[in-house]
Chains A and B, each alone.
Chain A
């Protein structure tokens, strides 16, 4: 079963705009990870944030984590057409089994 939900389910923006995706989860976690998937291919790991961290940056990506609200957000700044993909959050409770959200489909219009 899926740990949580992602919001929105789909997002369409213009190149250069920022894209924000939200993820909610249900149980205590060790870390939360974000992945990208292009057209039903394999998942690409984007960023991992530990439960004792509140914010993390990697290039154009910014992730926040609020453990009191059991939520996380992924911000992609200055989006490019190549960012078009599905984005998933995944929680790791320490049992070595990721639980994935339902995903956000991002479409970046050139």
Chain B
């Protein structure tokens, strides 16, 4: 069974640009979540999608957005990048409530 796939693995962007990250969940998992990991703030929840609907959103500015497609694949977008957006972005999928999450290897975004 294939795991959670995130692309790209590494990304370097310039301040002010925008970026789109992609996540393919485990087949059959309809819940997809995104997390940001930084040395200073640790792991923080961004948002969660289920059946193309955002069910929950973390405390991040509106520059961070996401969507989920009918095949459960998800994308997140960050507009007007800031240096502080440099982080490891992790995607996770789950069978549903009461189950653990399977994480992808992450996309490491560096903003210069």
Q: Which residues of A contact B (CB under 8 A)?
A: 1-2, 30-31, 33, 35, 40-45, 47-48, 50, 88, 90, 94-103
Q: Mark B90-112, 1 if CB is under 8 A from A, else 0.
A: 10100001111111111010000
CB distance from B46 to the nearest CB of A (A): 9
Instruction: Name 9 extra pairs, CB < 8 A, besides A98-B35, A100-B44.
Output: A30-B98, A31-B98, A42-B4, A45-B100, A45-B103, A50-B98, A96-B31, A98-B45, A99-B45
Residues of A within 8 A of B35 (CB): 98, 100
Structural contact, B101 and A41, CB atoms closer than 8 A: no
B27 within 8 A of A: no
Can you identify 27 A-B contacts, CB atoms within 8 angstroms? A2-B42, A30-B97, A33-B101, A35-B103, A40-B37, A40-B106, A42-B90, A42-B104, A42-B105, A42-B106, A43-B90, A43-B92, A44-B103, A45-B101, A45-B102, A48-B99, A50-B98, A88-B43, A96-B31, A96-B50, A96-B56, A98-B43, A98-B101, A99-B45, A100-B42, A101-B42, A103-B42
CB distance from A10 to the nearest CB of B (A): 14
In this complex, the member of B55, B100, B103 whose beta carbon has the largest number of chain A beta carbons within 10 angstroms is B100
Residues of A within 8 A of B101 (CB): 33, 43, 45, 98
B26-43 contacts to A, CB under 8 A, are 31, 33, 35, 37, 42-43
Interface size on B, residues (CB 8 A): 29
CB distance from A63 to the nearest CB of B (A): 12
Structural contact, A94 and B97, CB atoms closer than 8 A: yes
- A2, A33, A96: the one within 8 Å of B97 (CB): A96
Q: Give CA–CA (A88, B102) in the complex, Å.
A: 14
Residues of A within 8 A of B97 (CB): 30, 94, 96
The 10 closest A-B pairs by CB, nearest first: A45-B100, A100-B43, A42-B103, A43-B103, A97-B45, A42-B105, A96-B48, A48-B100, A97-B56, A42-B106
Q: Give CA–CA (A31, B43) in the complex, Å.
A: 18
